[in-house]
Amino acid sequence: MANIAVIGTNYVGLVTAACFAELGNQVVGVDIDPGKVERLGRGQLPIYEPGLEEIVVQNLKAGRLRFTLDYNEGLKKAEFAFVCVGTPSGVEGEADTSQVKSAAHSLGQYTPAKRSLIVVNKSTMPIGTGEWMLQALGRASNGSGATFQVVSNPEFLREGSAVDDFRHPDRVVLGGTDPEAIERVASLYRDLQPEPPIIRTDIPSAEMIKYASNAFLATKISFINEIASICERLGDRRISPEYLEAGVGYGGSCFPKDVKALAHMASMAGAHPQLLRAVMEINRDMRRLVLQKVRAELGNLEERTICVLGLAFKPNTDDLREAPAIEIIHLLQSEGARVKAYDPAANEAAREMLPGVELCSDAYSVAEGADALLLLTPWSEFRRLDLPRVAHSMRYPLVVDGRNLYDPTDMVERGFKYRAIGRPVPEAVGAPLAPPAPTVEPVLTR
């Protein structure tokens, strides 16, 4: 069993730390956020991720998992240091690597003298960062005699199913210059059952695999959404995009920033990443399309009450980074609409980010008095809603289903004006509906 330090303990780092501890390793999580470290020590998680809390609590109790602010303590016995700090978008769209640089400096500085440490990069880093890091670690160790190897091990977990993704990865990518270091990292993953496929390569290739993979997935989504928009106009059912999961577009902590960073890297190297630019543009358009659908029914959005079901960028997480709902709500507010919202996990996180939005405790209270309901995150509890109750509590029963969660015919039969993404407008039943005049009474914000 190995001694492992995990640097950065949020979505990726916390899953990595807890799951390696569960495999029997001794793990110390190191973070610079005092509140987070203190709460983690008591078994309180900074994020919502299904199944993670019990693994953290069990391994804290078993003495295999600890958290600290102190690199000295974190590296005292470490043979491996997994770097899991953030690499958000910078002002020009580039990956901001300041957290990686600071972590590399601390790793170099605090690795005990004469110790050999394998630094495993899980964070998504621009191509070339791993090679830079090897030099930076040496410089920061300042002649202590500590030696370093760097292995790039890009992370492919998906928030919402991160624990399962750690336990059953499709593949583990390991890029390095030293075959022995690669094999030592591989041996940590061989404790998983069944053993995952391991792809061995050099550092820049491993770094590129991560960007290429996210760019490919984002391209698939924008491609599907473009086809959906065309189908919606042409009403061609033969190539209906129904099974292609058309929707309000991708969001989250990875696809937006990684596609942007790859396009930025490409431009800086003199390439013309036209496809990636189109992918991003189509994704932006999908947010606006939702508004167009609401406007087409209600006209001017001033004084309209719009309710939003789902805020997180996908179900089973509380992560709001680049969530389509956030941008759509800002657009609605800029057009004078009052917005009410509900998310099963992200309400708390949304409180600061969405001033002026009334956050409700369930789907029925959010629908109360609404002129339109926007379904933006396909949480499974929204599939099981008592739809007649929702229709009854709305002022005007317009539903814009940004995730194609509901059956169009069923929705129309239940009395909704139903609009989705890439699906032709269903035939209305009964007398045509017209929206009532906008309300004027103020909506309270909590």
- Enumerate the active-site residues: 254
Number of residues interacting with ligand NAD: please give it, by CB under 6 A.
28
CB closer to ligand NAD, 260 vs 293: 260
Q: Which of 25, 68, 97, 124 binds ligand NAD (CB under 6 A)?
A: 124
* Shortest distance in whole angstroms from residue 35 CB to ligand NAD: 10
* Residue whose CB is less far from ligand NAD, 158 or 284: 158
Q: Shortest gap between Cβ of 90 and ligand NAD (angstroms)?
A: 13
Burial 18-37 (b: 16+ CB within 10 A, else e): bbbbbbebbbbbbbbeeebb
Give Cα separations from 284 to 85, 188, 327, 420 (angstroms): 27, 40, 9, 17
CA distance 336 to 108: 52
Tell which positions 252-311 bind ligand NAD, by CB under 6 A: 253-254
Report the residue from 5, 23, 28, 31 that binds ligand NAD according to the rule CB under 6 A. 31
Q: Is the dihedral of CA 244, 247, 253, 254 positive or negative?
A: positive
Q: Residue 259 in contact with residue 218, Cβ under 8 Å?
A: yes
Q: Say if residue 63 is exposed, middle or buried (CB neighbours under 10 Å; 0-12, 13-18, 19+).
A: exposed
Interface stretch with ligand NAD, choices 116-124, 305-313, 394-402, 434-442 (CB under 6 A):
116-124
Min. distance of Cβ 212 from ligand NAD in angstroms? 14
Residue 13 in contact with ligand NAD, rule: CB under 6 A: yes
| C-alpha span between 95 and 124 (Å, rounded) | 9
Asked whether position 9 contacts ligand NAD by CB under 6 A, the answer is yes
- 226 interacts with ligand NAD by CB under 6 A: no
Rounded distance between C-alpha atoms, residue 253 and residue 322, angstroms: 7
Residue 49 in the binding site for ligand NAD (CB under 6 A): no
300 burial via Cβ count (<10 Å: 0-12, 13-18, 19+): exposed
Cβ atoms 421, 246 nearer than 8 A: yes
CB-based contacts of 188, cutoff 8 Å, min separation 6:
2, 4, 20, 23, 25, 80
Smallest separation (angstroms) from ligand NAD to the CB of 69: 9
Site for ligand NAD in 338-377 (CB under 6 A): none
Nearest Cα to Cα of residue 208 among 249, 148, 269: 269
Position 155 contacts ligand NAD (CB under 6 A): yes
Binding region for ligand NAD (CB under 6 A) out of 122-130, 131-139, 189-197, 339-347: 122-130
Of the candidate spans 24-32, 183-191, 262-270, 344-352, the one that interacts with ligand NAD by CB under 6 A turns out to be 24-32
Q: What would the two tokens of residue 340 be?
A: 């009410």
DSSP state of 95: B
Q: Which of 2, 6, 7, 118 binds ligand NAD (CB under 6 A)?
A: 7
Is residue 140 part of the contact set for ligand NAD (CB under 6 A)? no
- Tell me if 325 sits within 8 A of 170, measured CB to CB: no
**Nearer CB in complex with ligand NAD: 80/418:** 80
Binder among 2, 4, 6, 10 for ligand NAD (CB under 6 A) = 10
Query: Interface residues with ligand NAD (CB under 6 A)?
Result: 7-13, 30-33, 36, 84-87, 99, 102-103, 106, 122-124, 155, 157, 159, 253-254
